[in-house]
Amino acid sequence: MNILIIGGAGYIGSHVAREFLDRGHSVRVFDNLSSGLRLNLFPEAEFIHGDILDYTGLSRASAGGFDAVVHLAAFKAVGESMIKPEKYSVNNINGTINILNAAVEGGIKNIIFSSSAAVFGRPEYLPLDETHPTNPESYYGFTKLEIERFLGWYDKLLGIRFAALRYFNAAGYDVKGRIKGLESNPTNLIPVIMEAASGMRKEVEVFGNDYDTPDGTGVRDYVHVSDLAIAHAMALDYTSKNDKSITVNLGSETGISVLEIVEAARRITGKPIPATIVGRRAGDPGKLTATSKKARELLNWTAKYSDLDTLIKTSWDVYKNQQ
């Protein structure tokens, strides 16, 4: 199939591009390189340097008979979204409306969208399934939920089929070592730990050890980025073969604490990785885990690479060269 990947030079997008290429699809990447990197591009994929806020350029890039658009172009820093909501409105919401309209104009029938576990907000029960109420705690999560609603209307009114993939905590790097781009100024836990291991930062701050969890630190469901990438390909098979949309959680169904990750990282990297306990980060729930039963049943997807050691080893393979 012909696939347009918007945000395909980013951390998750480059893994998604790799997966579609590996499956023999033809890929065009569209990215403004604001956080994406040229280093994450593959020669087999065509690249267009453009911005989703430029409708003319986007619609030109969306023409030419694409079967699907994969949309991963978004800002994703939860804390920043609470301070600069306008930035998230413009890029995440306006940008997505442009993508949807360019897809309609270009006759693209399938959209695979990067949604997030942040749509749920504070959990009422765990593990989170797809029917859990959605009450985002952050403006970032709100933008993802609004986009899911737009997708629902474009499905109903225009026959566009979508897959909304609610990622839990994406982590790790391509198991074959083909992706090497580092995120700049990361805020997510595993890249922060990797930066501490490679000497790019002094220490890891652990945001709270007084949660109601076995060791008191935050527990999350980490899912390997290659597993996420595979899910995008399976989701497109689903929407295109069944002519149906789908919203699914993507997680490993395993809860891992901050300290468990720090300890595994010390063991695997052989580095001391200093860690200091500081106060809780505003808005962080103690524990979030997914059930991925729906993805298993409808997409035939399960996480294959999301065990703790693979998450850390594949990350370290990229970060160790930074020393």
Contacts to ligand UD1 by CB under 6 A: 76, 78, 116-118, 138, 141, 167, 169, 187-189, 192, 204-207, 218, 220, 258, 281, 284, 288
Residues 320, 313 contacting (CB under 8 angstroms): no
43 vs 185, beta carbon nearer ligand UD1: 185
User: CB of 151 within 8 A of CB of 163?
Assistant: no
Minimum distance, C-beta of residue 128 to ligand UD1, in the bound complex (Å): 10
Residues 238 and 296 sit within 8 Å (Cβ to Cβ): no
Q: At closest approach, how far in Å is the CB of 126 from ligand UD1?
A: 13
Beta sheet of 169-171, edge-to-edge order: 169-171, 219-224, 255-257
Closest distance to ligand UD1 from the beta carbon of 171 (Å): 8
- The candidate with the shortest Cα–Cα distance to 171, out of 307, 302, 290, is 307
- Position closest to ligand UD1 via CB: 218
For residue 125, what are the contacts with CB-CB under 8 A and spacing of at least 6? 132
Question: Least Å distance between CB 69 and ligand UD1?
Answer: 20
User: Is 154 considered catalytic here?
Assistant: no
Torsion of the alpha carbons at 202, 286, 261 and 225, rounded to the nearest 10: -100
Neighbouring CB atoms inside 10 A of 62's CB total 23
Which residue, 151 or 189, has its beta carbon nearer to ligand UD1?
A: 189
Question: For residues 114 and 74, is the Cβ–Cβ distance under 8 A?
Answer: yes
Catalytic-labelled residue, pool 139, 140, 211, 305: 140
Strands annotated E in 129-214: 161-167, 169-171, 204-207
Q: How far apart are CA 197 and CA 199, in angstroms?
A: 6
Q: Nearer to ligand UD1 by C-beta: 15 or 28?
A: 15
**Smallest gap from residue 61 Cβ to ligand UD1 (A):** 26
Q: Cβ closer to ligand UD1: 58 or 235?
A: 235
Which residue numbers are catalytic?
A: 140
